Structure 1
């Protein structure tokens, strides 16, 4: 019934080898970081590594700092802007009204031309 593989049920790196096979692990330090939502994350760094001033909180994504009483402010996100909002940033109300009046005048002139053509060819 059971002619199976010798490594059945094991995974790479598993087994009694441990430190002897892989070597000594580097000395580590654990540094707590705090975000604006009062989350604490404690990553570990190699002892000789330079610890960053900020770390991303894995729970909310906000930046986290080392001072629990003064965490970094969350990033400010700009709300979605419509095309009209961008146009209003570039043009004043007077310029917009002038463009609208020009477009309406052209539309009315085109409509009057079409109506005149229709009346002339109706007979």
Structure 2
């Protein structure tokens, strides 16, 4: 069930990003951004939830930060693409806040994996 939530959340985030890039659905992503308090708050919270659900659901590949690396690379690609899209604006602060959310949510899971790894 948690895997379905994690994959669903990822699809929701991809859908929001694509719709914003294409100029559609302003009522949705604009409302989400406004509800969460602004752009940076939205980036942090969306990334935190994605990382938390991903690490909870896929703990086998979370070992030693593999899932975290994939999430950071995916977010870097998304943010980097915005540099080339006319309706989007590249902002390195958005990416840094996103990474902070990803790392903070992943930290307890990675710490538990390392603790188990070194205990055996």
TM-score bracket, shorter-length normalisation? under 0.3
Give TM-score, length-normalised by structure 2: 0.26
Give TM-score, length-normalised by structure 1: 0.25
**Which structure has more strand as a fraction of its residues?**
1
**Greater Rg, structure 1 or structure 2?**
1
**Which structure has more helix as a fraction of its residues?**
2
